[in-house]
């Protein structure tokens, strides 16, 4: 009887070790000190990405005098493509933005001008609806594919004494962004803040990203806490304006039509 008990304990312990070993190995691999900066940038891309589905929320822009402008928006995501439509109670549809080829190709329809434009080069970094977000900021394009590390990663304390990973990345090709300084969570690798510098390496904008905020899943009719960014805030240090993009609802049970990812759809 004792022998059988010993065999059972040994088997249970061995099974536990087998189950725990991969998790422990993965945990050890997640130690940021053992990862090259390029791998940290890859984690950054992963944490900034959105899953396929339909999102809705608000873009709030507060100018330097404290006056707010609010736009509702819907975002459709499918296989690396994004379609955003911004509306306001007074004007209806104000702008539509289409991102193709993982955010590298950007099309914009401005309702006021009735223009359909493909943005290239510096135009991709212009302000969207006079907000603190550029068209490129919302593209979902790969940072790993467009930037390379400028310095080794280090640990620093951000607001509230919270420790974070810090490193800088610089563009591989000429860009309106001269450098981005990244503050990244040490455990989850989620971005906490991105400090954006111009070509002269002068800080002109900060982007704060928030996770862990409940949103309504309209298909399931219940709140969920998603893994993707729920809120992004931009502080424009040149104008003093503050912009907030916040998602309130999400649904991945809806079929996202391929038709909305055609540039000609934007001006319909």
Q: How large is the average pLDDT for residues 101-127?
A: 95
Tens digits of per-residue pLDDT, 67-107? 999 999 999 999 999 999 999 988 899 999 999 999 999 99
Distance in angstroms between the alpha carbons of the first and the last residue of the chain? 79
Looking at the predicted structure, is the pLDDT value of residue 8 above 90? Answer: no
Distance CA 136, CA 107 (A): 11
Task: Please report, for residues 85, 129, 147, 267, the alpha-carbon distance to residue 110 in angstroms, rounded to integers and kept in the order given.
Answer: 10, 9, 30, 9
pLDDT of res. 262: 97
Mean pLDDT, range 5-23, rounded to an integer: 43
Q: Is pLDDT above 90 for 17? A: no
Q: What is the mean predicted confidence (pLDDT) over 204-208? A: 98
pLDDT (tens digit per residue) in 228-259: 999 999 999 999 999 999 999 999 999 999 99
Q: Which CATH architecture has domain 35-267?
A: Clam (2.50)
If pLDDT is split at 50, 70 and 90, which confidence band does 29 have?
low
User: In the beta sheet, which residues pair with residue 243?
Assistant: 61, 234
SS3 46: helix
pLDDT level of residue 25 (50, 70, 90 thresholds): very low
Q: What is the mean pLDDT of residues 123-127?
A: 97
Q: 3-class SS at 8?
A: helix
Q: Name the DSSP class of 258.
A: G
Q: Which residues of 208-221 are buried (b: 16+ CB within 10 A; e: fewer)?
A: bbebeeebbbbeee
Q: pLDDT-based confidence at 166, cuts 50/70/90?
A: very high
């Amino acid at each position: 009887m004792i022998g059988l008990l010993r065999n059972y304990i040994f088997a249970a312990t061995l099974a536990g070790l087998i189950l725990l070993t991969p998790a422990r190995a993965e945990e050890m691999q997640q130690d940021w000190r053992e990862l090259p900066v390029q791998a940290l940038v890859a984690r950054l891309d992963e944490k900034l990405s959105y899953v396929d589905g339909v999102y809705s929320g608000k873009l709030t822009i507060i100018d330097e005098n404290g006056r707010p402008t609010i736009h509702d928006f819907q975002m459709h995501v499918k296989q690396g493509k994004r379609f955003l439509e911004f509306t306001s109670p007074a004007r209806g549809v104000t702008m539509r933005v289409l991102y193709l080829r993982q955010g590298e190709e950007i099309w914009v329809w401005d309702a006021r001008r009735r223009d359909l434009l493909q943005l290239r080069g510096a135009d991709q970094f212009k302000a969207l609806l006079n907000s603190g977000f550029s068209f490129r900021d919302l593209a979902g394009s790969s940072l790993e594919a467009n930037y390379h590390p400028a310095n080794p990663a280090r640990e620093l304390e951000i607001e509230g004494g919270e420790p974070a990973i810090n490193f800088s990345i610089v563009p591989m090709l000429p860009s309106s962004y001269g450098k981005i300084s990244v503050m990244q969570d040490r455990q989850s690798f989620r971005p906490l803040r991105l400090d954006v510098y111009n070509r002269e390496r002068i800080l002109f904008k900060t982007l704060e990203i928030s996770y862990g905020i409940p949103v309504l899943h309209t298909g399931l009719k219940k709140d969920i806490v998603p893994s993707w960014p729920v809120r992004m805030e931009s502080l424009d240090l040149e104008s003093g304006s503050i912009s907030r993009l916040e998602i309130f609802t999400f649904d991945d049970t809806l079929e996202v039509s391929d038709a909305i990812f055609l540039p000609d759809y934007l001006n319909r």
